[in-house]
Structure 1
């Protein structure tokens, strides 16, 4: 069976689709899966051994410049690539009009969330078959429901298996915590003073603190936090997702705000504490065996709460 999965963005949403891919590979041995995704996130599906081919689609750039000649060339090249294969099933888990339209470029029956489940209900009109998803469950479970419904196997009730295979990236110089301090919205950030106090407490327990960043603004924020923590804190240089994943895979723990890299850390099996200030962790929190979510809408978890959560995961103590 040859399946095309359409999940283009964002990083956390892409990570939330990985357990569905693992389910498909287990429940339908021999399945061949291609994944259509934004180039910025292509490294994520490429790290899953069940994915045969990653197909980049620069949809965000195309939408910013719809009349640009490069946009039309890009769409034509994508169409040419997609139509080389007749798929047994195309599954759009994005549930948006733009993802459904792009999925329509491929050959094969197109499945996706029904109009009661899709993020944009009109997208369901493009599907050969719409599938129900429970809005009350976590995004990982909603995606697993889609996969089970599309391929006709019972929904596994096991903990999600993200299935990533990531080699470590070099010597990190002893046990460390990777701290995801940056995110897409200011309302999701944790106060820099909180990061400073948490980092100092972890340093006293013998951990280094590594802070990744994805932009100049985030690097400047990381520099302020490392200065507040002092010796043993390091603002990492900007790097690609695959290389950063190799660093994350070696971390003793991960602590972070609501950002895709936090979900990647949990997917890589790192003990993870999520700090939520402006989103609902019941819907999109970290979902893994060794993970704790703190906070929620209009909240601000304290440093002591984060340290207590780490202690529950067997790391250090809350004192």
Structure 2
């Protein structure tokens, strides 16, 4: 079947969408004339609106529907999805029941993960074709393997290593003119967060201007603590997604927890250190300049222990020394 127009479904979260954008450049290489649409949660759409390899970004607001229990909004969303173009192929890159249902409302020719490799096995019931890709492997390799199967591509490790930036590249802003590092202090779970006291220690040992990125009032308070306890740390301004991309994309180094803004560094080919406690390197694609430092916990990625706070045991000196090596 000739593919003229496809849809990629990756609704959330920020880091997962960042890691999924790797597939775009490889699809374009093989199918330069094909139209590519992306369906995601409304809050993350600004990350993709200016992407040069995406034709249209369509949004849903499932979180709002769930929170407000709004039947009216649900009906509006279903109608909106049914009125999207008739795609030749829909690829569910998320593997959840909610993403599978969204895909099924859009059309019938859906490719996704099979019951053994989907994050939620029931999602596989909605697909016309599936791929068996182990859940335990790197999310980057899962994304490219899924696209390989769905579109007949042959993306390999060498191609991933040689990738171009996977997100839109923005010009420098008023606060990204000088050389600087970035420390991402937030995360979706408390157990994934490196202690603010030790963040300050890392900044002092690194001896380089470091913006502390925050995304909530609690994180802003922690950022202010770090800045008060390190002459090298500066609280980043409130940033929208485009400004965050600009900050990360022009940094000399990014250090952070296992969370979206940290993963942006890999997307932009910027040196980075990702800190792991209850999760592991499956969440990244390690390179010579994108490395992981993790606690001594033995992680079962299929049964994550959200009460594992071992990230606090990582020595700040270890982080600072690795950071200095990367900056060389």
Same fold (TM over 0.5): yes
Once the two structures are superposed, the pairs formed by residues 1-319 of structure 1 within 5 Å of their partners are: 1-80=4-83, 82=84, 85-160=85-160, 161=163, 162-172=165-175, 174-203=178-207, 207-230=208-231, 232-281=232-281, 283-296=282-295, 297=297, 298-299=310-311, 300-315=313-328
Q: Is the 8 A contact 2:206 2:324 kept in 1?
A: no
Moved more, 23-32 or 9-18: 23-32
1: CA distance between counterparts of 2:140 and 2:247? Answer: 24
Structure 2 distance, partners of 1:233, 1:129, is: 50
Partner SS state of residue 55, structure 1: strand
User: How far apart, in 2, do the equivalents of 1:266 and 1:154 lie?
Assistant: 21
Contact 2:248 2:261 in 1 (8 A): no
Matched residue SS, 2:48: helix
- Supply the RMSD in Å over aligned alpha carbons: 1.8
- Asked if the contact 1:275–1:293 (Cα under 8 Å) also holds between the matched residues in 2, the reply is yes
| Partner residue in 1 for 2:302 | none
For structure 1, which segment, 207-216 or 39-48, has the greater mean C-alpha deviation from structure 2 after superposition?
39-48
Scaled by the length of structure 2, the TM-score of the pair is: 0.88
Cα displacement (A) at 1:28? 2.4
Q: How many residues align?
A: 307
- Taking structure 1 as the reference length, the TM-score comes to 0.90
Question: Aligned equivalents of 2:260 and 2:152: distance in 1?
Answer: 30
1:67 positional shift: 3.6
SS in 1 for 2:90: strand
User: Separation in 1 of the partners of 2:115 and 2:159?
Assistant: 28
Residue 262 of structure 1 and its aligned partner are, at CA, apart by 0.2
Q: Following the alignment from structure 1 to structure 2, what is the Cα–Cα distance between the partners of residues 43 and 127?
A: 28
Displacement of 1:143 after TM fit? 0.8
Structure 1, unmatched stretches of 5+, are: none
- Shift of residue 290 of structure 1? 1.7
- What is the deviation of 1:62? 1.5
CA separation of 1:179 and 1:159: change in aligned 2, threshold 3 A: farther
Gaps of 5+ in 2: 298-309
Shift of 1:159: 4.7
SS state at 1:170 partner: coil
Task: Confirm or deny: 8 A CA contact 1:286 1:293 kept in the other structure.
Answer: no
Q: Is the 8 A contact 1:49 1:163 kept in 2?
A: no
Which stretch shows the higher mean deviation, 121-130 or 191-200? 191-200
- Whether contact under 8 Å (1:215, 1:238) holds in the other structure is no
How far did residue 284 of structure 1 move? 0.6
Instruction: Please say if residues 3 and 87 of structure 1, whose CA atoms lie closer than 8 Å, have aligned partners that are also in contact.
Output: yes
